[in-house]
Amino acid sequence: MRQALFNSLQVAIPEARVLDLFAGSGALGFEALSRGASFVCFVESAKPVVKLILKNAEELGVNERVRVLEESVMQAQAELLAAAPFDIVLADPPYAGGWEEKLLLEFPWNELLAPEGYFCLEWGAQKSLISELPEKVPYLVKVREKNYGDSVLTTYQRQD
- C-beta separation of 105 from 37 below 8 A: no
Helix axes 27-34, 47-60, angle to 10 degrees: 20
pLDDT at position 67: 97
Q: Can you state the percent helix, strand and coil of the chain, rounding each to 5? A: 35, 30, 35
Burial 4-18, CB ≥16 within 10 A → b, else e? ebbebbeebbeebbb
Sign of the torsion angle spanned by Cα atoms 124, 127, 128, 132:
positive
- Pairwise CA distance, residues 72 & 53, whole Å: 15
Tens-level pLDDT at each residue, the chain (160 residues)? 677 788 788 899 999 999 999 999 999 999 999 999 999 999 999 999 999 999 999 999 999 999 999 999 999 999 999 999 999 999 988 766 778 888 999 899 999 999 999 999 988 766 655 667 889 999 999 999 988 877 888 999 999 8
> From CA 136, how far away is CA 144, in angstroms rounded?
12
pLDDT of residue 48: 95
Cross-strand partners of 90:
20, 120
Q: What pLDDT score does 3 carry? A: 79
In terms of CATH architecture, what is 2-158?
A: 3-Layer(aba) Sandwich (3.40)
Contacts of 30 (CB under 8 A, 6+ apart): 40, 56, 57, 60, 62
Q: Which distant-in-sequence residues (6+ apart) come within 8 Å of 140 by Cβ?
A: 104, 109, 113, 119, 156, 157, 158, 159
Q: In what order do the strands lie in the sheet with 136-137?
A: 66-69, 39-43, 17-21, 86-91, 113-123, 151-158, 140-148, 136-137
